[in-house]
Amino acid sequence: MRIDILTLFPELFESPFRVSMIKRALEKGLCEIDIHNIRDYSVDKHKSVDDYAFGGGAGMVMMVQPIEAIILKLKAERNYDEIIYMTPDARVYKQKEANRLSLCKNLIILCGHYKGVDQRIRDHYITREISIGDYVLTGGELAAAVVVDSIVRLLPGVLSDETSALTDSHQDGLLSPPVYTRPANYKGWKVPDVLLSGNEKKINEWRENQSIEITRKIRPDLLDE
């Protein structure tokens, strides 16, 4: 998979992709992530990337020209499955969408900033809009890092068997059951007996019941879906 990220703040992506799973995926060549500075594509003499909103109001709007220039350049090089725009005014991202995007070959992710991008970019180039939750971030960069992480960890070869994505919270629509490791007794805090029983059937039943109980308590809305 190849992911091209368009941003006004490339520095924000310096560390998130340099540790743990994503770092390994990049090293193994399972995916390639290219960060593009939108400012590099501005043709105006001040390298402008934003301007006041027509009609007035506080906040700057990201201009069409530099963003279109990168998108056209990239689209001439390969076919993109989706051109995604990160914005708080979109449907909220869910695991199902991560699963779907992980099957794509080439993705562009445009990070919004300030008041967002000129609507004409959304109308003419964007194929998908993503918000990561009902709160407002300074820009789409951190949200894009979240989305990329959720996609890349699903690529074949990134997770080992022990860390299989199939047992993740949300993958089956439920929250994960509690987990424990050694020692079995820490200062009198004991691990549930069933987990030490060696009875796989009993253990799976216990985990499933815990998942349902915890989901009922913390996220009952997930059980309705």
Chain residues that interact with ligand 6GU, rule: CB under 6 A:
86-88, 112, 130-133, 135-137, 139-140, 143
From the list 102, 75, 91, the residue with the least C-alpha distance to 6 is 75
The C-alpha atoms of residue 220 and residue 65 are separated, in whole angstroms, by 46
Question: CA torsion sign, 135 to 139 to 140 to 142?
Answer: negative
Give min distance, CB of 135 to ligand 6GU, in A.
5
From the list 5, 2, 1, the residue with the least C-alpha distance to 144 is 5
CB atoms within 10 A of CB 141: 24
Give min distance, CB of 146 to ligand 6GU, in A.
8
Rounded to the nearest 5°, which phi and psi values hold at 33?
-120, 120
| DSSP code of residue 86 | E
Q: Output the six-digit token pair for 80.
A: 């993109």
Give min distance, CB of 131 to ligand 6GU, in A.
4
- CB nearer ligand 6GU, residue 144 or residue 158: 144
Give min distance, CB of 188 to ligand 6GU, in A.
43
- CB nearer ligand 6GU, residue 16 or residue 88: 88
Are 112 and 84 within 8 A, CB to CB?
no
The C-alpha atoms of residue 207 and residue 113 are separated, in whole angstroms, by 42
Give min distance, CB of 79 to ligand 6GU, in A.
24
The C-alpha atoms of residue 75 and residue 110 are separated, in whole angstroms, by 14
Give min distance, CB of 119 to ligand 6GU, in A.
16
- CB nearer ligand 6GU, residue 33 or residue 143: 143
- CB nearer ligand 6GU, residue 126 or residue 158: 126
Strands 82-86 and 60-62: what pairing? unpaired
- CB nearer ligand 6GU, residue 133 or residue 178: 133
- CB nearer ligand 6GU, residue 147 or residue 154: 147
Beta strands in the chain (DSSP E): 2-7, 32-37, 50-52, 60-62, 82-86, 106-111, 128-130, 185-186, 189-190
